[in-house]
Amino acid sequence: MNEYSITQIAATIDALLDVKCHSGAAQPIQEVLEAAKIHFNGKQCDRVFMYNPDAIALWVYEKYAQKFAQLEQKVQLTSKATTVFPPVTPVCFASMYSGFEPKKHGIQKYAKPVLAVDTAFDDLPRAGRRAAIVSTQGDSISRIFLNRNIDYFIYKTKEECNEKALELIERDEHALIVPYNGDYDHWMHRFGPEGKRPLRALDENIGTFLDVHKAISKAWKSHSTALFFAPDHGCHAKFRLFGTHGINEPCDMQTVHFTSFIPPFT
């Protein structure tokens, strides 16, 4: 298992798609770029799908590894991803897609202002590449990246988001697609990270990734695609009754990312 910071994601997306990254972002993840060259036989990656489930901790993956067995059959890299402090959703996703630490991008607490700094969602349009965000209403990804020259698909439910994401794969118009699912986080806060309902949401998140992998393999046969399963932060139990996150401890600061490289099919 390799290790990287979530601040490296923005530059990695740009490098995979051969897009110039904005100034000051953290360096791309070399293990991902090297693996892409191998699995794509040196050809340029031209599609990135960043699936963002919320709050899935590294310790959850380690304790419930059997749940990830089918997913791991579809991926080539499993990585420990260290997040930023405080490990709360808007701060972490701002760092993931800007490549900056919180002090530099400006969101340093649980708040959802529109980011004023450059992000991958600015780099792609400048290079003439289309990007799309698919998110539930009011959630961080639906708000902090507004006012970019990208396509926004905002819905009330996770199910609508996932349906739209699969539709966008079929339409094949975007170099970058970023769907967000916040259901594990939602239920974890209410029933704890290991409650029956949050663990069912975890299963559903894994199932969504598998559905996306299948759809890409069918619809994007002419593309080299990097598909990520990339949570924002971890979580922990509090008072043995409910779950939370936001502390500077491995339970919240370490999550797990998976990367699948889906080559063209001829």
pLDDT at 147: 98
pLDDT at 265: 83
Report if pTM > 0.95.
yes
Output the CATH code of domain 2-262.
3.40.720.10
Nearest-angstrom CA–CA distance, 115 and 107: 8
Q: 130: buried, middle or exposed (CB in 10 Å: 19+, 13-18, 0-12)? A: middle
Q: What is the pLDDT along the chain (266 residues), one digit of tens a residue?
A: 899 999 999 999 999 999 999 999 999 999 999 999 999 999 999 999 999 999 999 999 999 999 999 999 999 999 999 999 999 999 999 999 999 999 999 999 999 999 999 999 999 999 999 999 999 999 999 999 999 999 999 999 999 999 999 999 999 999 999 999 999 999 999 999 999 999 999 999 999 999 999 999 999 999 999 999 999 999 999 987 899 999 999 999 999 999 999 999 86
pLDDT at 266: 60
Nearest-angstrom CA–CA distance, 175 and 120: 12
pLDDT at 198: 98
DSSP 45: P
The domain locations on the chain are: 2-262
Nearest-angstrom CA–CA distance, 70 and 47: 23
The residue ranges of DSSP E strands in 159-264, in sequence order, are 176-181, 225-229, 236-238, 242-244, 254-262
How many CA atoms within 13 Å lie on the side-chain side of 158? 16
Hey, how many other C-beta atoms are within 10 angstroms of the C-beta on 231?
A: 29
* Span between the terminal Cα atoms of the chain, in Å: 31
